[in-house]
Structure 1
Amino acid sequence: MPDIVVRRHSVHGMPTEEYASALRERLPDREVAVARTPASERDLVTDAAVLTGSAIDESLLERAESLRLFASTYAGYDHLPLDALADRGVALTTASGVHGPNIAEYVVGAWLSLARGFLRARRQQREGVWQAFQADDFAGSRVCVVGLGAIGEAIVDRLDGFDVETVAVRHSPEKGAATDEVYGYDEAHEAMADARYVALACPLTDETRGLVDRALLRTMHPDCVLVNVARGPVADTDALVEAFQRNHLGGAVLDVTDPEPLPGDHPLWDFENVLLTPHNAGHTPAYYERLADIVAENVRRAESTGSWDGLENQVGL
């Protein structure tokens, strides 16, 4: 029976066999199997020490008698049965950090695209209109990054050289940051009051749900460009629509929405200064390679220490 089982759910449409191959390259002494059907999942998981995939339900967990680690292929874990994993003594790790470089590129690219008027240029090109228009400078702006996990830190890193003022909003501002200023979530208004570019890269928690509401949108500069690569509910959708209807926001690039997927008749589709992408900012052809690095290192660490604790990206259960 295999040591590591890869569930059949692909990430961003990439074949799971690529993930299994990456694991085999890093762990040649371990047997890695891909569970291609529900039946094979139920069979293979019974003796596996490691199961990896986007999710696990309690019925499958009950069959996993030897399971020591569930390695999620997602960075988020609020959809997982945390209590059941804890009760069975199964460690949980995430894909945190895998998305950092590509999502950071998405955010900076989104800011630059709206600053330089690329959306308008593309619209005029489709219409065959040759008409000069004014654009903004990204340099000299105040840029705010909300959330300083792996993604938020990667965004801040990529702002070096752009000659911008950087501020961050994080759960524990006392930890500091590689930014000019750091604020707590209760100081979001102060952090964003003069920001022209804001990125939401925080987890969805009770503290961040609805963080960008009508009150905060009124505080934000009317030329501000908002990018959301966090979760849709971090921003109040109705408040966003109202802000655009009243010209209270300069633009937005939204990789996540609430609801998701966004209904085809939703008003957010119709604003010329809003760009919507289908929750794929996290896609990178290197996804499985980066993920396999994390999982393989954790397997080696557990083998060395004899404990499935103290792992990279481990979630405290």
Structure 2
Amino acid sequence: MDEPTLLFAHTVGPDRGADLRDRLVDAGIPADRVLAAATPAETDEHLADADGLVVGRLPEDLLDRADSLRWVQALSSGVDYLPVDDLVDRGIALTNAAGVHAEPIGEQVLGYMLNFERDLHALARQQADSRWERREGGELRGKAVGIVGVGAIGTRVAELTSAFGMDVWGVKRDLDSMPDAVDEPRSPDALHEVCLASDYLVLACPLTDETEGLIGGDELRLLGEDGVLVNVARGEVCDQEALVGALRSHLIRGAALDVFEEEPLPADSRLWDLSNVVVTPHMAGSTPHKAERWTEILAENYRRLAEGDSEGMRNRVV
């Protein structure tokens, strides 16, 4: 039986697709079985014969022309932008890149927390104004962090914050798979308890019907005036209007946001001007090690596909 054909769709980007193709060939995948499309026309040319498809995004009409497709690999952890139900209906396996971004996002979350604990964002504004004004900093040790969504990213946040001596609360459906770094495991129905206990509430869950709007006015009130919200999940997980209101009225202490309901964040958004907000442009997952980590997942899943073991694919979503 021939080895399966893997196609990098043009939505991956021509340079990235070519680089990952070369890395897979270096990892032992047959060169004539890995194709990288630079244009929509090239994707269409090879789509009918592709057994596997690597995508940045996936226009639904592509599936109608993918006669041999058995596997779709996303290069992100979140898959809310993909036609998941359609893939399920067609019996096509979907895998994501969970774990690729865990280290950089975990480190950035820790950076956000240190920023608020040591008042670095306020000190940066003072420096820009050439203003010398001492401020009293706090410590993370002894504070409580609540992590909503303890997958690969949430686990790394738990490990890093635990190393800083924080009390780690984690919210996850499967409590049996909660990592050891979580001191206080909780199921989703205990979210309000976690909000009330947390000095820092970190959103690291996928965007689903259940998590859309998960954090609203009630949850922010429970987080309280000493609490900081950190969102590295999706903007829609938090009610942005409720968040702006809570920040403007100092119902909560502050927020560190890497994701937003609309991206890029509009220039007229009130979030830009609030002194108790740190805004970053959806870059927490950036890392120089992305390509090598993607390659590990792609190579493993290609070999699983070749062996007919789609159930054993790494990071299988559906």
**TM-score normalised by the shorter chain: which range applies?**
over 0.9
Check if 1:287 corresponds to 2:290: yes
Alignment of 1:68-147 (within 5 A): 68-147=70-149
- Structure 1, 37-46 or 204-213: larger mean CA deviation: 204-213
- Structure 1, 80-89 or 223-232: larger mean CA deviation: 80-89
2:196 to 193, 196, 217: 193
Deviation at 1:14, TM superposition (A): 6.7
Q: Is the 8 A contact 2:12 2:54 kept in 1?
A: no
Deviation at 1:73, TM superposition (A): 1.2
Instruction: Let me know the Cα RMSD of the aligned residues.
Output: 2.0
Deviations 1:106-153 (A, max 9, x none): 101110111111101111111001111111111110111110111111
Deviation at 1:30, TM superposition (A): 4.0
1:276 maps to 279
2:23 maps to 22
Cα–Cα, structure 1 residues 237 and 65, in superposed 2: closer, same or farther, change >3 Å?
same
2:316 maps to 314
Check if 1:213 corresponds to 2:216: yes
Q: Is the 8 A contact 1:2 1:33 kept in 2?
A: no
Deviation at 1:238, TM superposition (A): 1.1
C-alpha separation in 2, matches of 1:89 and 1:177: 32
1:181 maps to 184
Give secondary structure in 2 for the equivalent of 1:71.
strand
Deviation at 1:214, TM superposition (A): 0.7
2:56 maps to 54
Alignment of 1:164-179 (within 5 A): 164-173=166-175, 175-178=177-180, 179=182
Deviation at 1:256, TM superposition (A): 0.6
Counterpart of 1:181, as a letter, is E
Structure 2 unaligned segments of length 5 or more: list them. none
Cα–Cα, structure 1 residues 189 and 158, in superposed 2: closer, same or farther, change >3 Å?
same
2:258 maps to 255
Give secondary structure in 2 for the equivalent of 1:159.
helix
What TM-score comes out, normalization by structure 1 length? Answer: 0.93
What TM-score comes out, normalization by structure 2 length? Answer: 0.92
Structure with the bigger percentage of helix: 2
Deviation at 1:10, TM superposition (A): 4.0
Deviation at 1:314, TM superposition (A): 1.1
C-alpha separation in 2, matches of 1:118 and 1:225: 14
Deviation at 1:2, TM superposition (A): 8.6
- Structure 1, 52-61 or 143-152: larger mean CA deviation: 52-61
1:39 maps to 41
Equivalent pairs, count? 314
Alignment of 1:225-244 (within 5 A): 225-244=228-247
C-alpha separation in 1, matches of 2:12 and 2:69: 21
Q: Is the 8 A contact 1:144 1:169 kept in 2?
A: yes
Deviation at 1:90, TM superposition (A): 2.0
Cα–Cα, structure 1 residues 87 and 246, in superposed 2: closer, same or farther, change >3 Å?
closer
C-alpha separation in 2, matches of 1:124 and 1:201: 31
Cα–Cα, structure 1 residues 194 and 81, in superposed 2: closer, same or farther, change >3 Å?
closer
Deviations 1:281-317 (A, max 9, x none): 111121121111111101112323x33332111122x
Structure 1 unaligned segments of length 5 or more: list them. none
C-alpha separation in 2, matches of 1:217 and 1:58: 37
Deviation at 1:191, TM superposition (A): 1.1
